[in-house]
Every structure is written in C-alpha cells, then in structure tokens.
Structure 1
C-alpha cells in the first residue's frame, strides 16, 4: 500500500497533537470505537469542556468525524482523511485501549448516554 508523503509542517502539527497522552489515547480508542464526550469524561476524569477542546483540535484538521444520535454526538477517526495513513502508522504501534471501554461498560457508564 503506497504511503502519502506528509508535508513536514502538517506532520509537526499532527505529531504535536498526538504528543499529548490524553489525545493519543482518545485517537487510539476512536480508531476502532465511536465514543461520546461523556465516555471520555469518565475515562480521563477531566471536564467536558477539556474533552471538547481536545476533540476540536482533531476536528480542525478533519481527523475525526461526528455521528449525531439523538442528543448525543459520537466521534470516530475520519478514515478518509488524507493524513489517516500517517496517523494509523503511529496508532498501530500502541497497545489496545479497549479495556477502558470495557471497564466503562462494567460500571454501566458506556451506554448511559446512548
């Protein structure tokens, strides 16, 4: 599969975003699961506005997409984004984070917002 050559400036912006542990974990989760803000609030134990700021940074680059279901918005990686292969190559090197979602489900918090 041919890889897209990423402009140095754009790569630096993406790597800076992924340099934050919370954002990196969020992206790893969203690569395989659609997640709601309330789930990220529970997982990271930080405020909804802080989670929204992290998501906005990804949205500004088109790296994530939204799927509105009722009053809730679920976020996932935009796999059609021109930089997805670059991001994916990084995410593939990381351990799976699904255990965080499984724990939420056990606590009854995974489905509370759906």
Structure 2
C-alpha cells in the first residue's frame, strides 16, 4: 500500500491540535462514531462554548466534518482528508473511547436522530 505524504505544515498543525487532551479525546470519541456537541459537553464535563471552540479548530484544520440533522449538528472524522491517515495512526496508539459513549447511552443522554 502506497503511503500518502502530507505537507509538513499540515502535519504540524494536526499534531499540535491532537496534543491537547480534550481534542484528542474528542477525536477518539469520533473514531467510528458521530457525536453532537451536547454529547461532548456531557462526557467531558465542559461548557458548550469550550467544546464548540475545540470542534471549530478541528474542523478548520480538516480533521472533522459537521453535518446538520434536524436541530442538531453532528461531527465525525473527516476520512476524506489528506491528513486522515496520520490521525488514524495516532488513534491506534490511544485507548478506545467507546466506553464513554456506551455510558452516555445507558444514561439515556445519547442523541438519536433518524
């Protein structure tokens, strides 16, 4: 499999963003999932404006995408980004975050939007 090289500036930006515990946790939560801001607020016990700022930085760097579903905006990893292979590689080296989403679902606070 041929490796795709990314610009050193893009790699630096992505790695700086992922160097923040909150943003790395958000990206970890998005591995295989879509989440709404309110879900991050509940899991991370942070204010909505703080979470929104983290998500804006991740979105502006192309690491995440947003999609409106009714009244909610959901976030997911931007798998079509040239930087995604680097992000995916980083995620292979941190613990899974899915137990946090499972706990949120058990508490009845997971957003279901169909």
Relative to the length of structure 2, the TM-score reads: 0.93
Aligned length: 113
Instruction: Tell me the equivalent position of 1:108.
Output: 108
**Range 97-106 or range 3-12, more displaced:** 3-12
How far has the Cα of 1:6 moved from its partner? 2.2
How far has the Cα of 1:63 moved from its partner? 1.5
- Where does structure 1 lack aligned partners over 5 or more consecutive residues? none
How far has the Cα of 1:8 moved from its partner? 2.0
Q: Secondary structure at the match of 2:31?
A: helix
- Where does structure 2 lack aligned partners over 5 or more consecutive residues? none
- 1:65 maps to 2:65: yes
Q: Which runs of 4+ in 1 moved over 6 A?
A: none
Separation in 1, partners of 2:20, 2:98: 19
